[in-house]
Structure 1
């Protein structure tokens, strides 16, 4: 049985993608309903009818970002065999996305807090949870590396995960400020070398 009522008259996926890019560039607070209707090509009543509210639209946009723009980095982290190589692959996949000229620079989940959402505690908590999920993924991959023998037994996986997450967030901000892919590659090269040895040495001292 077909859907009852009047058809939407617009492509929901395309509209959501346009909203995602707008939020990505301007943040939640910096994006008005007027901006959204202009970018999505639909009137505000249709936005409310289809997506519920501006906040719900933002949450859906973040989920779309994670499922599309964030997917290559997560797959690189999970599927690259050696732990160090997996971290490097994850950082490089993110660097590719952060500096892609076809999309806004940086990471939507990191930059959304910088560009706005501080006035909405629920939304801020939502973004913190998304970032914590990435931190947990890095931590789990490092622990797997220790179990597999990729990393020394004394490696402080928790400290390293926080370090790599901090580097990742810094890369996102640098890209927003104009850092090139080559600039981010330099950061990655500096990042991958000594932190594992330093972490193990700290525990032994």
Structure 2
């Protein structure tokens, strides 16, 4: 019988395992042998199932949406820019503070520190981060067009501010910051938010 994936191979569970390893140790900090062992696959079986390590990482990033996508959907449903921003920051606290997930953020520690050989991974992560910021800016622009942001407040800049704070909290979480400390950061960040006007 030819070797390949086990007959009871659960791709979703295997991807979740790989995701958590990449999330905790980063792309280059996670050897293919460690991935295969944790996923209960041989290295050849892993390659057969997912392609190379870069391909597995990209599939794991897609799997990451189950953790991060709901954060933005819930926040974007809020009825003011202030509440959208607070929803994103508090959602980020939940995501990065180790509540059932590794500390930190996959988008940050997964690929910020990579060698030239891993440039494609770094560029892919940068593109995803830019897309997240663009999505937040688009939501803020809706409030701006409705006259709910003070004159002179720029939707794109506000989006950059929120994503920058969220990114910083992810770094702090990876460095050992407690959940309460991250909440305090989010609360402080919201103190500069402008008073909003009714549309």
Residues 43-88 of structure 1: CA deviation (Å, up to 9, x unaligned): 11111111111100000111111x2110232112321111110110
8 Å Cα contact 1:105-1:175 kept in structure 2: yes
Structure 1: gaps spanning 5 or more residues: 198-205
1:188 counterpart residue number: 186
Change (3 A) 1:6 1:126: closer
Residues 72-126 of structure 1: CA deviation (Å, up to 9, x unaligned): 3211232111111011011101101111342210110111134546541111110
The 1-side partners of 2:112 and 2:93 are apart by 19
8 Å Cα contact 1:26-1:115 kept in structure 2: no
Give the 3-state SS of the residue equivalent to 2:67 in structure 1: coil
Residues 154-197 of structure 1: CA deviation (Å, up to 9, x unaligned): 31122222111111110000000111121111111111122447
Matched, 1:38 2:37: yes
Give, in angstroms, the shift of residue 33 of structure 1: 1.1
Q: TM-score, normalised by structure 2?
A: 0.89
8 Å Cα contact 1:18-1:40 kept in structure 2: yes
1:203 counterpart residue number: none
Q: TM-score, normalised by structure 1?
A: 0.87
Structure 2: gaps spanning 5 or more residues: none
1:73 paired residue among 62, 71, 74: 71
Flag as ranges the 4+ runs of structure 1 deviating above 2 A.
5-9, 113-119
The 2-side partners of 1:20 and 1:8 are apart by 22
